[in-house]
Each structure stands twice: as structure tokens, then as C-alpha cells.
């Protein structure tokens, strides 16, 4: 983990961001005391792929049919076996 003063961080922010993205711990200090850290934002999951859309399409539940009202629709969705 590296420590950098606010002044140093201001002058080298792009480099410090790159280092944080590479996994290095980056701490910003003021008057010798840690006040902030730079951490990459982690995204959850993975990009949607065609196979994901195929999986969803195969399990699609029709939302309405002739004569359905909201109560019957909710009951049907609740009672369907997945």
C-alpha cells in the first residue's frame, strides 16, 4: 500500500488511479494522517451474452391471455412451476 499527500495526489491523480486499478492500495494523506483511499469500482456479474437471452426466452411466461385480469395473472405466475 502506498501513501501520498493530497498535493502529490493532485499532481499525479491519473497515475494513482491507474495504480489503484492495477490492484495497488493507494492512501491519500493530509498532514501525515490517512484521509482517503483510491479503490477501483467493482462491477458485479458479467456482460449479457446471447446464451443468456436464449435461456430467458425459453422460460418466458406469457403475461396476458384473452380474459386474464390482474388477479388471475398473478395467481398463474405464482402457481406456475419453474
Kindly report, residue by residue over 15-68, the tens digit of the pLDDT.
999 999 888 999 999 999 999 999 888 777 788 899 999 998 888 876 666 566
The residue assigned the cell 483510491 is: 38
Q: Residue 59: its pLDDT value, please?
A: 85
Structural domains of the chain, with CATH:
2-38 (3.40.1620.10), 50-79 (no CATH)
Question: Is the pTM higher than 0.85?
Answer: no
Nearest residue to 32 (alpha-carbon basis) of 10, 14, 9, 6: 6
- pLDDT at 6 exceeding the cut of 50: yes
How far is it, in rounded angstroms, from Cα 72 to Cα 61? 14
For residue 82, what pLDDT band results from cuts at 50, 70 and 90?
A: very low
DSSP code, position 45: S
Amino acid at each position: 500500500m502506498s501513501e501520498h499527500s493530497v498535493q502529490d495526489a493532485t499532481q499525479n491523480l491519473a497515475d494513482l488511479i491507474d495504480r489503484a486499478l492495477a490492484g495497488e492500495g493507494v492512501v491519500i494523506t493530509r498532514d501525515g494522517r490517512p484521509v482517503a483511499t483510491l479503490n477501483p469500482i467493482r462491477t458485479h456479474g458479467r456482460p449479457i451474452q446471447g446464451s443468456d437471452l436464449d435461456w430467458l426466452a425459453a422460460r418466458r411466461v406469457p403475461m396476458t391471455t384473452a380474459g386474464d385480469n390482474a388477479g388471475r395473472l398473478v395467481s398463474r405466475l405464482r402457481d406456475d412451476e419453474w
